[in-house]
Amino acid sequence: MSRKHDWDAQGYQTNAGFVPKLGRPVLDLLKPQAGERILDLGCGDGALTAELIGAGADVVAVDASAEMIAAAVARGLDAHVADATALTFEQEFDAVFTNAVLHWVRDADAAIAGVARALKPGGRFVGEFGGHGNMAAVVTALGAVLKARGIDVATVNPWFYPTPEAYRERLEKAGLKVESIALIPRPTPLPTGMAGWLTTFAGLFFAALPEEDRAVAQDETVELLRHSLCDDAGNWTADYVRLRFAATLSS
Ligand code: BEZ
């Protein structure tokens, strides 16, 4: 049975508040225009949705997490719980924007099909998420820690990090013309270190273990990563690689 990640809006702000802050280049690529109707796919707590509204767009925001949607609604946003693989919008958006969420969506074709249905002819799909090689050291360390306990990481890894070539093919198959797509290495300082990052994002890996083993397994993962991702002063930097793209639905 595939499990779902538990989102904690407060922990997210503490351990990963940099995510919306680093989403600025995706907004710049989208170039939202006043009066446009935009879908924010995977809005989280709505920090970037608010920026789209600030640009004058009329924005509908969706996210799979009820907890994140509650935080977005508390900001006064038009935000709804929805599964990215089962979008029900029909030709109503000038653009679909997405930041730092599609690496959680393994059924990429279902998500892209829903986006293509949601767009008006000529509408834009612009976004960024983890691409091939994203968090490579972290995934390798998690794999080693689980393997030592008899678990194959592939059976619990929820993340999808495609190459530009593979994702382009999926977009084109759904009738989207790719304007740009590229991998962008982005070493990212972690404000609360690797332990904070793992606590917020890697729960599904440790959930495969008996509860009493989880804390030790997380500590082991941190120690395996220290050599590569922590500097002499104790600052942690994650090996993020973004896949950034802009595509247009054929008219
Ligand atoms: C990312 O933004 O690349 C990411 C965030 C959380 C988990 C995995 C990847």
Nearest by Cα to 44 from 76, 12, 18, 3: 12
As given in the structure block, the two tokens for residue 183 are 């991998």
Q: Whose CA is nearest to atom 2 of ligand 1?
A: 100
125 lines ligand 1 (CB under 6 A): no
- Tell which one of 103, 140, 199, 240 to mutate to probe ligand 1, the residue whose CB is within 8 A of the most ligand atoms: 103
Residue 19 in contact with residue 129, Cβ under 8 Å?
A: no
Residue 6 predicted with pLDDT over 90: no
Instruction: Using the mean position of ligand 1's atoms as its centre, give its distance from the Cα of residue 24 in Å.
Output: 16
Mean pLDDT over residues 145-170, rounded? Answer: 98
d(CA 251, CA 49): 26
Predicted local distance difference test score (pLDDT) of residue 2? 55
pLDDT digits (tens, 9 = 90+) for 93-102: 999 999 999 9
Predicted local distance difference test score (pLDDT) of residue 43? 96
Predicted local distance difference test score (pLDDT) of residue 7? 81
Q: Please give the number of the atom of ligand 1 that sits closest to the Cα of 19.
A: 2
pLDDT above 70: percentage of residues in the chain: 99
Q: Please give the number of the atom of ligand 1 that sits closest to the Cα of 197.
A: 6
Q: Whose CA is nearest to atom 3 of ligand 1?
A: 130
Predicted local distance difference test score (pLDDT) of residue 8? 84
Predicted local distance difference test score (pLDDT) of residue 219? 98
Sequence spans of domains, the chain:
9-133+159-190+241-249
- Tell which one of 104, 183, 241, 242 to mutate to probe ligand 1, the residue whose CB is within 8 A of the most ligand atoms: 104
130 lines ligand 1 (CB under 6 A): yes
Residue 8 sits at φ, ψ, to 5 deg, of -130, 105
Q: Whose CA is nearest to atom 1 of ligand 1?
A: 130
159 lines ligand 1 (CB under 6 A): yes
185-244-87 Cα angle (round to 5): 135
Residue 198 in contact with residue 145, Cβ under 8 Å?
A: no
The domain 9-133+159-190+241-249 having CATH identifier 3.40.50.150: the answer here is yes
240 lines ligand 1 (CB under 6 A): yes
Mean pLDDT over residues 179-207, rounded? Answer: 96
Mean pLDDT over residues 2-7, rounded? Answer: 76
Predicted local distance difference test score (pLDDT) of residue 1? 43
Query: Between 136-147 and 193-201, two packed helices, what is the crossing angle to 10 degrees?
Result: 70
Q: Please give the number of the atom of ligand 1 that sits closest to the Cα of 200.
A: 6
Instruction: Using the mean position of ligand 1's atoms as its centre, give its distance from the Cα of residue 103 in Å.
Output: 7
DSSP assignments along 132-151, one per residue: TTTTHHHHHHHHHHHHTTT-
CB atoms within 10 A of CB 121: 10
pLDDT digits (tens, 9 = 90+) for 14-73: 888 888 888 999 999 999 999 999 999 999 999 999 999 999 999 999 999 999 999 999
Higher-confidence residue of 112 and 7: namely: 112
201 lines ligand 1 (CB under 6 A): yes
Instruction: Using the mean position of ligand 1's atoms as its centre, give its distance from the Cα of residue 236 in Å.
Output: 15
Predicted local distance difference test score (pLDDT) of residue 22? 87
Mean pLDDT over residues 203-230, rounded? Answer: 98
Mean pLDDT over residues 161-179, rounded? Answer: 98
As given in the structure block, the two tokens for residue 53 are 């509204």
Mean pLDDT taken over the chain: 96
Instruction: Using the mean position of ligand 1's atoms as its centre, give its distance from the Cα of residue 175 in Å.
Output: 27
